[in-house]
């Protein structure tokens, strides 16, 4: 089968991945209600297209934090790409570059952030999990030195949620046996070999507070983006802590189950924060029309998680590029059909809630 859309890649990827890996990629937490809601919420939004607009000069270029990109689409941070393809994140970032997009590199990548940086000329942001302040400080320094342009702190993971597919598959044992080191590219390439494993194990995510954002600011001049916000209350606090961006996200339905979908949370967050920082969204985006809906409700760009892993599995960097180009083309066609030649013409009036 020649894949022509994101769903085709999903079908192909499943035939190529061992069951524990497939389940780790696809799965959500507990009853996977958030996972499903992320998709159904998009289907419940209806578009109000305009006609007889000159759409002959169609253009998807935009910028995020003053960096130009060819499409309002970025690669979401997802862990352990060597389980999908032997070149791992180095292939992923090459695909993102080739498409004129950019990548948020996971804290738990299979390759070190320096190796991944060397594979790319384009936009790269570093996604941080804070285990200890000492480790975080070193990772931030390394990210600065390797030319990452922003730090994306994930804030929806004070603990890793209950993932029952992974439990049943004994995913941890499977991964250690067949893909040792898939989650620890950074630890294998520390500056002084100074990441201490017992220290990492003392996972301190549950001690993070808003004070941690102030602490981060004293250790970096890079823009700070918070990933995993779903309420206007927290968006207001984020703005008070002078973040450069917010990713409206429920971690692809992989953390707290039963949350509102990010696309449902977006309007209240845009209402309080859009004047002060950039707002991105992820979760369940599989079509150009999904992206159009997110942009209409005020997102500056969207992040794509699982479909990138499907593309990487099926065809390495070319697959990643193809996934991004499929979504780009679908978005372009949706914009033309809705009467929006360029990104800045996309407005809230395109949306009707049902
Ligand atoms: C296999 C997998 C691993 C992930 N790993 C991370 C991670 O290391 N850090 C992070 O902030 N988010 C992680 N996420 C969440 C994604 O960044 C993103 O929020 C989510 O995948 C978006 O939803 P989508 O997959 O429906 O596009 C992961 C998601 C998946 C599917
Ligand atoms: O799977 C995830 O969603 C995730 O964020 C993660 C990252 C590193 C290790 C384990 C899980």
CATH number at 195 reads 3.20.20.70
Give 89-132 pLDDT, tens digit per residue.
999 999 999 999 999 999 999 999 999 999 999 999 999 999 99
Rounded to whole angstroms, the Cα distance separating 126 from 185 reads: 13
> Distance, CA 251 to ligand 1 centroid (Å)?
5
Q: Tell the residue number behind the tokens 């804070």, with chain if given.
A: 130
Asked whether residue 307 is assigned to any structural domain, the reply reads yes
Q: Which ligand approaches the C-alpha of residue 10 most closely?
A: 1
Would you say residue 193 has pLDDT above 70?
no
Rounded to whole angstroms, the Cα distance separating 22 from 73 reads: 24
Asked whether residue 1 is assigned to any structural domain, the reply reads no
Nearest CA owner, ligand 1 atom 14:
78
Q: Tell me whether residue 285 is annotated as binding.
A: yes
Task: For residues 189-218, give the mean pLDDT.
Answer: 67
Asked whether residue 151 is assigned to any structural domain, the reply reads yes
Structure tokens at 264: 């449902």
What pLDDT is stored for residue 195 in this prediction?
A: 43
Task: For residues 317-342, give the mean pLDDT.
Answer: 98
What pLDDT is stored for residue 205 in this prediction?
A: 65
What pLDDT is stored for residue 353 in this prediction?
A: 73
Q: Is 249:283 a contact under the CB 8 Å cutoff? A: yes
Cα dist from 309 to 21, 46, 169, 282, 338, whole Å: 11, 28, 20, 15, 30
| Residues that are catalytic | 251
* Confidence band, pLDDT 50/70/90 cuts, at residue 187: confident
**Among 125-139, 151-165, 186-200, 244-258, whose mean pLDDT is lowest?**
186-200
Number of domains making up the chain: 1
Nearest CA owner, ligand 2 atom 6:
79
Would you say residue 286 has pLDDT above 50?
yes
Would you say residue 203 has pLDDT above 60?
no
Structure tokens at 57: 């000069």
Q: Tell me whether residue 88 is annotated as binding.
A: no
Q: Is 233 left (phi over 0), alpha (psi -120 to 50) or beta?
A: alpha
Q: Which ligand approaches the C-alpha of residue 103 most closely?
A: 1
What pLDDT is stored for residue 117 in this prediction?
A: 98
- Count CA atoms within 13 Å of residue 166 on its CB side: 18
Give 243-265 pLDDT, tens digit per residue.
999 999 999 999 999 999 999 99
Would you say residue 139 has pLDDT above 50?
yes
Would you say residue 199 has pLDDT above 50?
no
Q: Which of 28, 89, 254 to mutate to test the pocket of ligand 2 (most atoms within 8 A of CB)?
A: 254
Rounded to whole angstroms, the Cα distance separating 126 from 198 reads: 23
Domain that holds residue 150: 6-353
């Amino acid at each position: 089968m020649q894949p022509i859309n994101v769903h085709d890649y999903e079908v192909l990827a499943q035939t190529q991945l061992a069951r524990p890996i497939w389940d780790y990629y696809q799965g959500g937490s507990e009853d996977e209600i958030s996972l499903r809601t992320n998709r159904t919420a998009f289907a419940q939004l209806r578009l109000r297209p305009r006609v007889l607009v000159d759409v002959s000069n169609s253009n998807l270029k935009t910028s995020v934090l003053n960096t130009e990109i060819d499409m309002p689409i970025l690669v979401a941070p997802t862990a352990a790409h060597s389980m999908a393809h032997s070149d791992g994140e180095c292939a992923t970032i090459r695909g993102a570059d080739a498409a004129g997009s950019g990548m948020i590199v996971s804290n738990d990548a299979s390759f070190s952030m320096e190796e991944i940086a060397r594979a790319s000329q384009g936009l790269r942001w570093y996604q941080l999990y804070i285990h200890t302040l000492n480790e975080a400080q070193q990772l931030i320094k390394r990210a600065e030195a390797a030319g990452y342009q922003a730090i994306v702190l994930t804030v929806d993971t004070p603990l890793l949620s209950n993932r029952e597919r992974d439990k049943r598959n004994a995913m941890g044992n499977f991964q250690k046996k067949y893909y040792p080191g898939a989650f620890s590219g950074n630890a294998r390439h520390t500056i002084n070999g100074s990441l201490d494993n017992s220290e990492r194990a003392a996972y301190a995510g549950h001690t993070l507070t808003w004070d941690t954002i102030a602490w981060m600011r004293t250790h970096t001049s890079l823009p700070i983006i918070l990933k995993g916000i779903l309420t206007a209350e927290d968006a207001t606090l984020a703005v008070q802590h002078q973040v450069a961006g917010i990713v409206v996200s429920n971690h692809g339905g992989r953390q707290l189950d039963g949350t509102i979908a990010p696309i449902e949370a977006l309007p209240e967050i845009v209402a309080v924060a859009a004047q002060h920082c950039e707002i991105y969204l992820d979760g369940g985006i599989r079509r150009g029309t999904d992206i159009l809906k997110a942009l209409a409700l005020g997102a500056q760009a969207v992040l794509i998680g699982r479909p990138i892993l499907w593309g990487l599995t099926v065809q390495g960097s070319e697959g990643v590029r193809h996934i991004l180009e499929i979504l780009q083309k679908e978005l372009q066609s949706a914009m033309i059909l809705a009467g929006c030649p360029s990104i800045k013409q996309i407005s809230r009036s395109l949306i009707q809630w049902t």
